[in-house]
């Protein structure tokens, strides 16, 4: 999306300005356009590339999201942190390892369809991506996807996918949220206790989640048909870092790479894993969406 188009969209709003990742994050080169929100209720930074919320802080609270200090702001590379959208497949492509991990939506520019400010102080942005306009070679199906973000005291996301082709479309996806934490040893995730999960660190073997999730080793777990709500807590400080509520998001994925893997990942780096946990919600593995021709499916997520 062109800077001029973005500028035209935000001229009537008081809370939103346009910046460039080079100006906001000094190490970012060559740079991407970013939307910066400073409203009565929150501060946020968003990227139309990937339709990705990068930073979010409701006024008077700690930052909710982690954005890697080593994130790359360059076409073709996913931005590490915030809430990337993984779709239309999750993880490696099922049959072609040359295709990008977690699909192509986090590596492409979305159109900003509208920007609104409400009298209650919330700001709403609608992002659109249409495979018929922008992506014809990477996927066998045609779809339109709309992501609405409402930012205020909480983050509200609404996702709608329309299958505009003539065959049933498999659609696997996740809101891949990176939550900011201060103390990995004292961090635990509640709301998945008692569930079975597929352990991605053990060739997808099925395991049982006996207690709350803690992060003493690499954690890469896929939970299916989960309940709507989870929380991230810090035991040492006795605080709730985030409450997560998904609607039509049957799966949860919990990920932290731990010391060795983090050090190998260029955009995380040594000890970067101490600053975040990912608790993702979406529809993956057996929970994958199958959307009939000319039909749509929707999902929502609230973070606070
Ligand atoms: C998680 C996966 O969702 O994303 C992990 O479960 C993966 O297996 C992680 O390593 C990060 O993926 P990427 O492509 O952003 O490096």
- Nearest residue (by CA) to ligand 1, atom 6, is 220
**pLDDT score for 135:** 55
**pLDDT score for 12:** 81
Smallest CA-to-CA distance from 173 within 69, 120, 103, 238 is with: 103
Atom of ligand 1 nearest to the CA of 261: 10
How far apart, in Å, are the Cα atoms of 295 and each of 127, 169, 248?
A: 19, 10, 16
Q: How far apart are CA 110 and CA 128, in angstroms?
A: 6
Q: How far apart are CA 272 and CA 12, in angstroms?
A: 39
Return the structure tokens found at 180: 């900011």
How many residues comprise the chain? 304
Give pLDDT < 70 ranges for the chain: 1, 135-137
Q: How far apart are CA 118 and CA 124, in angstroms?
A: 8
Q: How far apart are CA 184 and CA 44, in angstroms?
A: 24
**pLDDT score for 28:** 75
Gap from CA of 12 to ligand 1 centroid (Å): 38
Instruction: Check pocket membership of 255 for ligand 1, CB cut-off 6 A.
Output: yes
Gap from CA of 120 to ligand 1 centroid (Å): 36
Q: Can you give the C-alpha Rg of the chain in angstroms?
A: 18
**pLDDT score for 97:** 92
Gap from CA of 91 to ligand 1 centroid (Å): 6
pTM of the shown model: 0.97
Instruction: Check pocket membership of 197 for ligand 1, CB cut-off 6 A.
Output: no
Ligand 1 pocket test target in 176, 251, 252 with most atoms within 8 Å of CB: 176
How far apart, in Å, are the Cα atoms of 111 and each of 1, 37, 130?
A: 6, 18, 9
Instruction: Check pocket membership of 176 for ligand 1, CB cut-off 6 A.
Output: yes
Smallest CA-to-CA distance from 241 within 277, 191, 214 is with: 277
CA angle at 249 for the pair 165 and 128, rounded to the nearest 5°: 45
**pLDDT score for 232:** 98
Cβ-Cβ contacts under 8 Å for 126 (sequence gap 6 or more): 112, 113, 114, 115, 146, 147, 148, 149
Ligand 1 pocket test target in 92, 255, 258, 276 with most atoms within 8 Å of CB: 255
Question: Where do the domains of the chain lie, and which CATH numbers do they carry?
Answer: 3-303 (2.70.98.10)
The string of pLDDT tens digits covering residues 79-133 is 999 999 999 999 999 899 999 999 999 999 999 999 999 999 999 999 999 998 8
């Amino acid at each position: 999306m062109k800077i001029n188009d973005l500028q035209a969209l935000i001229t009537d709003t008081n809370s939103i300005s346009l910046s460039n990742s080079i100006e906001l994050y000094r190490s970012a080169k060559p740079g991407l356009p970013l939307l910066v929100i400073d409203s009565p209720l929150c501060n946020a930074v968003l990227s139309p590339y990937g339709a990705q919320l990068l930073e979010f802080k409701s006024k008077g609270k700690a930052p909710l999201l982690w954005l890697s200090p080593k994130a790359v702001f360059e076409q073709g590379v996913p931005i590490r942190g915030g809430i990337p959208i993984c779709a239309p497949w999750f993880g490696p492509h099922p049959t072609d390892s040359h295709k990008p991990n977690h699909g192509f939506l986090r590596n492409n520019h979305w159109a900003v369809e509208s920007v609104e400010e409400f009298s209650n102080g919330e700001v709403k942005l609608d992002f659109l991506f249409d495979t018929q306009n922008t992506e014809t070679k990477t996927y066998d199906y045609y779809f339109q996807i709309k992501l609405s973000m409402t930012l205020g005291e909480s983050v509200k996301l609404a996702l709608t996918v329309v299958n505009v082709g003539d065959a049933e479309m498999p659609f696997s996806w996740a809101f891949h949220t990176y939550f900011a934490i201060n103390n990995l040893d004292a961090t635990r995730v509640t709301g998945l206790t008692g569930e079975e999960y597929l352990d991605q660190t053990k060739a997808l073997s099925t395991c049982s989640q006996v207690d709350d999730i803690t992060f003493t080793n690499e954690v890469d777990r896929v939970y299916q048909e989960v309940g709507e709500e989870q929380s991230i807590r810090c035991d040492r400080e006795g605080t709730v870092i985030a409450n997560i509520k998904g609607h039509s998001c049957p799966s949860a994925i919990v990920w932290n790479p731990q010391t060795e893997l983090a050090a190998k990942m260029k955009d995380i780096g040594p000890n970067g894993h101490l600053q975040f946990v990912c608790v993702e919600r979406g529809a993956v593995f057996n929970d994958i969406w199958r959307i009939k021709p000319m039909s749509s499916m929707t999902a929502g997520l609230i973070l606070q």
